[in-house]
Structure 1
Amino acid sequence: MKKKEHVCMGVAASVLALFVAALLFLKNSQELKKAETLEAKPSQVRQTSQAEVGVEVEEPEKELVKSDADKQSVMDADYDRMGALGLYYDYANLSLVETVQAYMAEFGIDPSQVAFSYKNPATGHAFSMNDTEPMTAGSTYKMPLNMLVVDEVAEGKLSLTERFDITQTDYEYRFEHDAYVGQFNGAMSIPDMQEYSLVYSENTPAYALAERLGGMDKAYTMFGKYGESKGEVKTIRQEDNKTTTDYYIQVLEYLYNNQDKYADIINFMDQSFTGKYYETYLSNLRIVQKPGYVREALNVDAMVFEESPYLVAIYTRYLGGSTEESDEINGYGYMQLAELCYVINQWHRVNENGLA
């Protein structure tokens, strides 16, 4: 009897052991399956966790670049015009600096003869060459000079209706000064000074504007209001009239960003030298420009209202064989400046128009 009881108890113990083992196996299998599931979908788990705690996942900024197809489309559309001007370059595959260098190499212009700065305000894309090299400013100083006077008017320090005596104003050319005294009966308003200093780029009205600020010496100390070059010459050096395109691109950007405030002088710049300088081969565009010429220097600052507007400062020296003794614009040098304007604009059309 006892032997039978021992056998039954043994069987029961074996069954119990098998049951416990089965339970453990089932539990381990479930945990293993859960672990495999987590391992197979790690990104899903992380994203869920971040979403639950409100963490935003930042995507890297996409670079604003035109597609090859879009670039080629512009190249095809403008092919005849580029060919007719003899200014066909690989705009779609060259950088702006490389494109300008290709033009200069073709026409034998030394790299030191040209400095430029370009900026697309919408995209922030900016390119430059020799941008801190001191270059002779010529009459381009009249742009920031006019801006300074507008600032004084906006602050209530000057009036647009008052006529100011110009009989004792400083001047560069006596005959020009005397002509203005006679034409305006010895007094000019600020709008008159603005018009004749920007539309016709004459010096006597510019000196009259500077007088409103305390004189030309004082005006030169104020030009840093609109920016400073990272080079040795920070704004415009008065003693030798040297400046940089790095400074002037900042002046242009300040002007562009405050178009309502400077509407009057922008209007005068818009009227100046119609069909010339930057407009020579681009007469279909609205271009607000301030050219500057003196001796060896031939320059232009411009806001160009393409489909996507851009800003550009181009300063040159010795183009066409001009020298420090030159007393009139060199015709061949002028043509080269006009062609540079076209080349830069065409690169912009191919690579930047429509990006933003």
Structure 2
Amino acid sequence: MTLYGMIFSICFFLIVSFFFSTHTVDYANETETSEKITAPIKNTSASTVESPASEEKDSPELTAFYHKIEQTMTDTAKSFNGDVGMTYVDLTTGKQVSINGTKEFYSASTIKVPLAMMIADKVQNGDLKWDDQLTFNEKEDYEDGTGIIINNIQPTYSLRTLQEYNITYSDNIAKNMLYDTFGGDVEAKKALYAHFLQKETDWDDAKFTSEDAAKILKMLYEEKSSNQEYQTIYDYMKNTVFHERMDTPTTSGKVAHKIGSYATFLHDIGILETEHPFILTVFTNGPTDAGISFISTITDQLWNIQRDEHPKK
């Protein structure tokens, strides 16, 4: 082999070795690491969240509008002598504003809304039928508090009756009998939290955040047009016997809501029917009955702003 031939062979070998070397960069891991470093940290005291479905930047008018919503929520929260968590969602744009939106509160009867939604899903899937008769078990199902079953307990109730009583009258015995269809309250709560919130909870102390509740109500609102049973739950919430908290003289007949009360925990979660409907979820823990008037106050304040000042007229 000539000298030039040897030089050519050596160069060719070096080039091939470079391109087929196993020493490569894992670009997938590098990107993942970069994304973790640059991800924004969420403010849990006061936060405004863009809708994932919306790619348009807010107009100056909308920016000012949501600033007023947030400032109103912040100022009102400061007036409450206790713990508050609030979330507002504009259902026209998807914009969410929260004050202490990730703070946990004992859920009380607000848990009856996702429970009803899961019962509706079981019927849709064919696992239950509305005319199924459920047997009352005193040891498992009896509970003092709200409801009408406690005044005249019958041996059996149809699933449809329990579904209605659970929301319209916030019936605790109806709730417990609906839990029975999952194998008891523990299994029901496990399924509920996993399905709606992708998280776990302490089963004897079930907790929600205002953002959790807003997520559930958003699902109810968005799916009720194509899901008659979700629409029925919405109607039960709108026709509840509890005319207080978010049901004020201003909002009467135009709010679908579910209150929750346990000791000093007083809550309400609702969908309000202004021209541009919005979700409001308010959780409180404070002095006796103070949460009731607080919830009415913030509801009316946000209702008036949403009705009178929303830029998308």
TM-score by length of 2: 0.73
* Larger radius of gyration between Structure 1 and Structure 2: 1
Match of 2:297 among 339, 344, 356: 339
TM-score by length of 1: 0.64
| Greater shift in the superposed pair: 251-260 or 94-103 | 94-103
1:286 Cα deviation from its structure 2 partner: 1.6
C-alpha separation in 1, matches of 2:293 and 2:205? 26
Check the 8 A contact 2:136/2:154 in 1, yes or no: no
Q: Are residues 1:216 and 2:185 paired? A: yes
DSSP-derived class of the 1:252 partner: helix
Match of 1:252 among 208, 217, 238: 217
| Cα deviation digits, residues 17-62 of structure 1 (max 9, x gap) | xxxxxxxxxxxxxxxxxxxxxxxxxxxxxxxxxxxxxxxxxxx945
| Cα deviation digits, residues 2-24 of structure 1 (max 9, x gap) | xxxxxxxxxxxxxxxxxxxxxxx
Q: Would the alpha carbon gap of residues 315 and 236 (structure 1) be closer, same or farther in structure 2, given more than 3 Å must change?
A: farther
Q: Are residues 1:293 and 2:261 paired? A: yes
Check the 8 A contact 1:308/1:353 in 2, yes or no: no
Q: Are residues 1:99 and 2:52 paired? A: no
TM alignment of 1:168-187, pairs within 5 A? 168=138, 170-171=140-141, 173=143, 180=149, 183=152, 185-187=154-156
TM alignment of 1:49-198, pairs within 5 A? 61=56, 63-64=58-59, 66=61, 94-105=67-78, 108-110=79-81, 113-168=83-138, 170-171=140-141, 173=143, 180=149, 183=152, 185-198=154-167
1:184 Cα deviation from its structure 2 partner: 5.6
DSSP-derived class of the 1:343 partner: helix
Match of 2:284 among 316, 320, 339: 316
1:173 Cα deviation from its structure 2 partner: 2.6
C-alpha separation in 2, matches of 1:147 and 1:153? 10
**Residue aligning to 2:207:** 242
DSSP-derived class of the 1:279 partner: coil
Check the 8 A contact 2:65/2:310 in 1, yes or no: no
Runs (5+) with no aligned partner, structure 1: 1-59, 69-90, 229-233, 323-329
| Cα deviation digits, residues 282-328 of structure 1 (max 9, x gap) | 2345211011011111111111111011112111110xx23xxxxxx
Runs (5+) with no aligned partner, structure 2: 1-54
**Residue aligning to 1:271:** 239
| Cα deviation digits, residues 108-147 of structure 1 (max 9, x gap) | 424x621111111221211001111111211101000111
The count of corresponding residues between Structure 1 and Structure 2 is: 255
The percentage of aligned residue pairs carrying the same residue is 20
Q: Would the alpha carbon gap of residues 175 and 284 (structure 1) be closer, same or farther in structure 2, given more than 3 Å must change?
A: closer
